[in-house]
Chains A and B, each alone.
Chain A
Amino acid sequence: MKIALFIVGLIVFIGAETTCAQTQLVSRNAIMSFFSSAPIEDIKAESKTGYSILDVQANTIYFKVDMRTFKFRKGLMQEHFNENYMETDKYPYAEFKGKIKEPVDFSKDGTYDITVTGDLLLHNVKQNYSTKAVLTIKNGNISGSSNFPVKLEDHNIKIPTLLIKNIAEVVQVTVNVTYENSLARKM
C-alpha cells in the first residue's frame, strides 16, 4: 500500500516536474556576495550555492540561499555573521520573490535592462525592493546579474555601537546567476 502510494506520488511529482519545466529555468549555483565598507575594515563574503527559478511565462524570479554557506576571509567574521548578526540557527535562509516589470522576449538573443520588484525575506524581516538588473540571453541560455544596497536596519540586523566603525550600515549585495537548462529546444 505504502509502495503503491509512493509510486503514485512519484508519477504525480515527475508529471508536475515536466509540465513546469517548460517555462521554468533553474539554477543551484547562483553566486551571491555582499560587501561592507567601514572606516576600520572592509568585509566581503560570498556563497556559490544560491538557488534560483526564473519563470519566463509568469515573468517571475525566485531566489533562495542558505545564509550559512557564505564564506568569509576571516573565520571569526563568519562566526560572528552567523551567530550575532544573521542568527542563522534561527533564520538559516534568505528568500526573494520578485516580478520582472518589463516584457522580455526570452526567445531572442540579447542583453536586456530590466527592473525587478519583489520581497526579500532576510533575517526574518520582509522588505520590498525594486532594483535594476541585466539579463543576457544567448542561444536560449539565460544569465542575469544585479547589484543593490541592503540597509541592515531594514532587516532588524543590529550593530552594537562599539562596532559601528567596523560594519557599514548599508551593505552592497551582488547576485550573479546562470540558469542550468536552456530554452532553446522548448520554445
Chain B
Amino acid sequence: MAQQPDSVKAIDTLGGEEHIPVIATFKSGLIINGQSNETLHKSDLLVDIAHRFGDIGGANGGVHNFYGLDNSTDILISLKYGITDRLMIGAGRAKGAPNGVNTFQKELYYLSLKYRLFQQTTDDHIPLSVTLFGNTVICGMEPLDLATSDADFQNFGERMSYTIQAVLARKFSRTFSLALMPTYVRRNYVSFQDMNDLFALGAGARLKFSPRMAIVADYFHSFRTEASKDYYETVQDFKFYNALGVGLEIETGGHVFNISFTNSTAILDNQFIPSTSSAWSKGQFRWGFNISRTFTLSKK
C-alpha cells in the first residue's frame, strides 16, 4: 500500500524542472525543395545527394523519355557539417536548371549557414522552433554571349545570388508538423524585367504514418510583381509557377531517403523560387530524390 503515494510523488518530482526540446519535427534539413527547421548535431557530417528527373508528362515526358527518367533537370551534391548542435555550415554544387527565358545560369556552387535560434519544448515553454538559413550561390559558367540573359556576366559580383530565410516550425502531434518559411532571394544580376529582390512565403508539412515513414510536402509562393509577370507572359509567352513538392520520406538509421514529385526543375532555393516555369497541370512534374547520410565524426 505504501507504494501508491510514492509513484504519485515521483511524477511530481520528475520533469517540469527541465524544458525538454521537441525532436524530429522533420527528419532532415530539407523538406523537399525547402529547408526544414532541423540542423545537424555537433560534429556530424552529412552527405546529401539530390536529383530531379525530366517531366513525367507533357511534351517532354511520356514513354519516349521513359516518363522523365531519361533526363535530369538538376543534380546537387553537398556536404554539411554541424559546428555546434545549433549551427551548421554547408557547401555544394548543383548542375543548375536554366529555363532559357528568365534564367540561363548553371554550374552553381554554394555555401550555406543554418542556425537554430529556438527549439520548441514539450511543455510549450517555447511553442515554436525558429531556424535561420542563408546561402550564397556563385555561378561558375562561362559568360554567355546573350545580352538579355542573366548570364552575360561583366564582373564577378553578377555571378552571385543569395537566399535569406526564417523557418518557423511546430510539431503539433507526434505525427504532424508544419513549417512556414518567409524567404528573401537576392539575385545580383537578372534578365530584363526580372526582379533582383524577390520575396516568397513557403509552407511545409510532414505527416508520419509509420515509425519510419512520412508524407512530406512543401510549397513556395513567390511575390512577383504584376509588371514582371505581364512582361514575361505577353512578350516572352512564358509563365511562372509556384513550386509544389509532395514526397515520401523513409528513414533507416543514419540514412534518410526522400522520394518526391515536384513541378520545379531546380534544386537550389535561389533558382526554384524565382524561376519555376513548369506546371503540375501540364504534366510537367517529375520524380526527384534526396538521399542523405550522416556520419558522426566526434570521437569523445
| A residues apposed to B, CB below 8 Å | 16, 20, 24, 28, 49, 51, 53, 55, 58, 60, 62, 64-66, 68-69, 73-76, 79-80, 82-84, 89-90, 92-93, 95, 97, 158, 160, 162-163, 166
A20-B5 in contact (CB<8A): yes
Query: Is A62 a contact partner of B42 (Cβ separation < 8 A)?
Result: no
Contact B15 A92 (CB under 8 A): yes
Most B CB atoms within 10 A — which of A62, A80, A89? Answer: A89
Most buried by A among B11, B14, B298, B300: B14
Does A66 contact B211, Cβ atoms closer than 8 Å? no
A103, B167: Cα distance in complex, Å: 60
Interface residue B41 (Cβ < 8 Å from any Cβ of A): yes
Residues from chain B with a CB closer than 8 A to the CB of A79 are 23-24, 41
Residues of chain B contacted by A83 (CB below 8 angstroms): 23-24
Within 8 A of A (CB), among B37-51: 40-42, 44
Kindly state the separation between the CA atoms of A28 and B252 in the bound complex, as whole angstroms. 36
- Shortest CB distance B278–A (Å): 35
Q: A24, B6: Cβ atoms under 8 Å?
A: yes
With contact pairs A76-B294, A160-B212, A163-B252 given, residues A66 and B2 touching in the complex (Cβ less than 8 Å): no
The reply to whether B7 and A76 contact each other, CB–CB distance below 8 Å, is no
Cβ-closest 10 pairs across A and B = A75-B41, A64-B10, A74-B296, A83-B24, A89-B174, A53-B6, A51-B10, A68-B20, A163-B253, A66-B14
State the main secondary structure of chain B at its contact with A: loop
Say yes or no: A84-B212 contact (C-beta < 8 A), given A64-B10, A160-B252: yes
**A68 to B24 alpha-carbon distance, docked (Å):** 13
Asked if B155 lies at the interface with its beta carbon under 8 angstroms from chain A, I say: no
Q: Verify if B3 is at the interface (C-beta below 8 Å from A).
A: yes
C-alpha spacing A65/B14, complex, angstroms: 8
In angstroms, Cα B7 to Cα A97, docked, is: 9
Q: A82's contact among B10, B14, B23, by CB below 8 Å, is which?
A: B23
Which of A16, A49, A75, A162 is within 8 Å of B85, CB to CB?
A: A75
> Please, which residues of chain B bring their CB within 8 A of the CB of A28?
13
Chain A residues lying within 8 Å of B254, measured Cβ to Cβ, are: 76
Q: Return 5 A-B CB contacts under 8 Å, by A number.
A: A74-B296, A76-B254, A76-B294, A84-B211, A93-B14
Across the interface, B2 reaches (CB within 8 A) one of A60, A75, A166, namely A60
A62:B6 contact, CB within 8 angstroms: yes
Task: Find chain B residues with CB under 8 A from A51 CB.
Answer: 10, 13-14
Task: Contact check, A76 vs B41: say whether CB atoms are below 8 A apart.
Answer: yes
Complex alpha-carbon distance, A76 and B23, angstroms: 10
Q: Which residues of A contact B3 (CB under 8 A)?
A: 60, 62, 97
A60-B2, A64-B14, A166-B253 are known contacts. Are A74 and B298 too (CB-CB below 8 A)? yes
A75-B41, A89-B174, A160-B212 known; A16 and B14 CB under 8 Å?
no
Contact with A along B115-149 (1 / 0, CB 8 A): 00000001000000000000000000000000000
Q: Which residues of B contact A95 (CB under 8 A)?
A: 7, 10
Residues of B within 8 A of A160 (CB): 212, 252-253
Q: When the two chains form their complex, are residues B41 and A64 in contact, meaning their CB atoms are under 8 A apart?
A: no
| Residue numbers in A under 8 Å from B23 (CB-CB) | 79, 82-83
Q: Could you tell me the distance between the alpha carbons of A66 and B93 in the complex, rounded to whole angstroms?
A: 43
Other 13 A-B pairs with CB < 8 A, given A75-B82, A84-B251, A89-B174: A49-B14, A51-B10, A55-B2, A55-B6, A64-B7, A66-B14, A68-B20, A74-B41, A80-B253, A82-B23, A92-B15, A97-B7, A162-B252
A133 to chain B, nearest CB (A): 18
Which partner residue on chain A sits nearest B211 by CB separation?
Answer: A84
Which chain B residues border A163 with CB–CB below 8 Å? 252-253
In whole angstroms, how far apart are the Cα atoms of A28 and B300 in the complex? Answer: 27
The interface residues of chain A lying within 8 Å CB-to-CB of B11 are 64
User: How many Å lie between the Cα of A174 and that of B14 in the bound state?
Assistant: 20
Q: How far is the CA of A80 from the CA of B41 in the complex (A)?
A: 12
| Closest chain B residue, CB of each to CB of A24 | B6
Q: Is the CB of A73 within 8 A of B300?
A: yes
Contacts of B14 in A (CB 8 A): 49, 51, 64-66, 93
Judging by beta carbons under 8 Å apart, are B42 and A162 in contact? no
Q: How far is the CB of A31 from chain B (nearest CB, A)?
A: 15
Interface residues of B in 213-271 (CB under 8 A from A): 251-254
CA distance A45 to B244 in the complex (A): 41
Give the complex CA separation of A68 and B121 in angstroms. Answer: 12
- Distance between B158 CB and nearest chain A CB, rounded to angstroms: 40
